[in-house]
A = this chain, B = another copy of it.
Amino acid sequence: MKTVKVALAQINPTVGDIDGNVLKICDFITKAKKQNAAIVVFPELAVTGYPPEDLLLKPHFINDNLEALGKIQEETKGISAIVGFVDPVRKLKSDFLFNGVDRNDGIYNAAAIFHDGKLIDVYHKIYLPNYGVFDEYRYFKAGTKSSIYTIDGITFGVNICEDIWYSDGPAKSQAHSGAEIILNINASPYHMGKLHFRAEMLSKRASENKVIIAYLNTVGGQDELVFDGGSLVIDRTGEVIVRCRQFEEELVISDISLDGTTAKNISPKLEAAEEVYKALVLGTRDYVFKNGFKHVVIGLSGGVDSALVASIAVDAIGKDNVTGVFMPSPYTSRESREDAYALAENLGIKMREVQINRIFESYSESLKLEFKDVKEDITEENLQARIRGNLLMAFSNKFRWLVLTTGNKSEMSVGYATLYGDMAGGFAVIKDVPKTLVYSICKWRNSKGKRALIPERVLLKEPTAELKPGQKDTDTLPPYPVLDPILKAYIEDDKSFEEIASMECAKECIKKVINMVDKSEYKRRQSPPGIKITPRAFGRDRRFPITNKYRSY
């Protein structure tokens, strides 16, 4: 029986950390060699990290990436390896050459195919995604050809990410030319349920071409993106035979049978809430540590959003590295205080407390003359939120703690958040999590411990910003189970007013919601980055003009 020992190196590189990425790649090559793998596969742009964005416009960055590839090449004696890198336009010589790069020549999103210390070929990605979060036409030229290689009697083809999504793409021609296995390297960002979506597509691609596909994904957080790993091997009938873990770096080695049945090695499937939670944990951990922070600070209000963020932070970087700050005002209820402290105790994190009323009074006093003829309004609510933002930033400046903000997607959508207030901070952990999903995730997290981490009352009480007496979110917003589907239809699915109006909700209510979304773009533009978990997040994923007079109704 013909088999090939394939090592899937599902690694977590860091954007721009070329030296660190090379060390990691060489380390994984060494491990793969020790386990007698015939070939080790690394992710798309493993050398530079993904996406390097406008670093790609710097010729010296491209040169450094080429030099790094030379070091990797030396490590490939005694094994084959596929490594993602950036290839400037140049003629391929018998061995690797470090030419100076002229940016006008263009660059390719490329895979180096190494065997036993030699560079066999370089593949150039053919299908360049330029939608959603992707800007690949901004940087790359599209490749035009695909090849197959035979090493030790195994014939394989290599292609990159988007290439595998097209029926008529390189996988087809490679399989038809005789490839027995396709090695497809990826940097595929996570959104909810995408793993299933990928597996379905890969199953189709494998079975329609009667070819084995090894799909290797990167893992790790990069600004707003989380790459979830979950690398797969699909046999020629379309069945999943290997599934790596999601959200974890690992080296998975499999003896893949080319003419028989392969023993399955499938990591357990995560349930929906768990998958999102783990994405948020990984995205937070990598943002904090890759940016050189060691400690985070979170304003704890006693509400559900800050409770979830604190819980994620503790799971991401450890309870000793998380501080909560409780900042009560006269409108803060006794319940909120109890819940905030109960949460901190459950999580085992330190708690600080700073009253805001004296500071608020000093603002009121200083502005008294200026505001003497006008009544109280949103200004005073925002001031309270901004005092809290300033206090958290003071902790941040004084102790080099990163402020995690706690706003959810429902609030970010309708602008139910104060710019420079509760929006102030370095990372917006649950920015892309709709409020209804916030609750589901909290319930899942509570179900995982011996006892509920998040006090039950936090999940039961009515949401309020506590910025004026008796305030409830539903004073200005529809209840979240009504709001969230409208937001999804409008923001993620580009539905028109007429299409949304067919949902069970008053037309006036829908108009109001759409209007709030449209009018809040300026706030979102100044928001900290946060983790994408839906098919369309705010940020690079949804590029909307601020100045925009279009109304959908």
Contacts and interface: CB of A to CB of B under 8 A. Distances in A.
A383 to B, nearest CB: 6
A20 B58 CA distance: 42
A83 interface: no
Contacts of A103: 494
A525 B528 CA distance: 7
Contacts of A223: 545-547
Contacts of A290: 547, 549
Contacts of A527: 526
Q: How many copies does the complex hold?
A: 2
Contacts of A379: 394, 397-398
Nearest to A128: B137
Contacts of A354: 366-367, 370
Interface residues of A, number: 87
Nearest to A552: B60
A371 B390 contact: no
Contacts of A53: 543-545
A117 interface: no
Contacts of A391: 363, 366-367
Task: Pick from A64, A366, A393, A399 the residue with the most CB of B within 10 Å.
Answer: A366
Contacts of A137: 130, 137
Interface in A368-396: 370-371, 374, 377-379, 382-383, 386-387, 389-391, 393-395
B358 A366 contact: yes
A363 B386 contact: no
Interface in A339-373: 352, 354-356, 358-359, 361-363, 365-367, 370-371
A330 to B, nearest CB: 15
A14 B545 CA distance: 11
B366 A522 contact: no
B14 A547 contact: yes
Nearest to A497: B60
A193 to B, nearest CB: 21
A197 interface: no
5 contacts: A15-B547, A15-B548, A137-B137, A358-B362, A387-B390
The 8 closest A-B pairs by CB, nearest first: A16-B550, A17-B549, A60-B496, A362-B362, A379-B397, A420-B420, A16-B548, A137-B137
